[in-house]
Structure 1
Amino acid sequence: MVDILIKSLDALWQVALVGLVLGAGLPALFALGVRSLNTGRVVTAGGPQSSGADTSTPSAAGRAGAYVCFGICILAVAFGIVVIVFGKQLFGV
């Protein structure tokens, strides 16, 4: 009886951890990437060929951080698709 309870609690914390990482972690990582695109922006005045509005570009560090965050999100989604499509071949169930 105690053995079943311990195994159930062990499986429960693993499912909760994966749910927390994938359910809240990936959207938070994506939001961090969007946020890093906004840090260190340099405002430049519009030139004669523009509409006269000021534009801003993200800094190189902000852009690099965004690329890393978005890349991790894309890899996680691609891994999920691979597991869904090729799960039986990978895990032999």
Structure 2
Amino acid sequence: MEIVKDTLTALWQVIVAGIIFGAGLPALFALGLRALNSGRTINADGTVTVHPGTGGRATAYVIFGFVIAIALFGIVVIVFGKQLFAH
């Protein structure tokens, strides 16, 4: 019975990590792109008017920095996981 409990616990952790990194991180990146593109409007004739906003740009850069940091952390865990999490 203990092995079933341990297996379900590990499965739950993998599912949560998959949701966060598989869907959450790309969604966060998309929000950064949306924030970066917040000052643009498309006119009726098809031309684009740009009103750059510093708030949207700053938000986008913070989000992009967070996404890059999480991606680099994932790479470090993959490469040095045994040294970091050895018991």
TM range (shorter): 0.7 to 0.9
- Counterpart of 2:85 in structure 1: which amino acid? F
The alpha carbon displacement at 1:4 in A equals 2.3
Q: 1:84 aligns with which of 74, 78, 87?
A: 78
- Counterpart of 1:64 in structure 2: which amino acid? A
Structure number with greater Rg is: 1
Contact 1:42 1:58 in 2 (8 A): yes
Structure 1 unmatched ranges of 5 or more: 44-52
- The root-mean-square deviation of aligned C-alpha atoms, in Å, is 2.1
How many residues were matched structurally? Answer: 82
Question: What is residue 7 of structure 1 aligned with on the other side?
Answer: 6
Contact 1:36 1:65 in 2 (8 A): yes
Structure 1 stretches of 4+ moved >4 Å: none
Contact 2:40 2:48 in 1 (8 A): no
Output the TM-score relative to the length of structure 2.
Answer: 0.79
Aligned-partner Cα distance in 2 for 1:5–1:59: 53
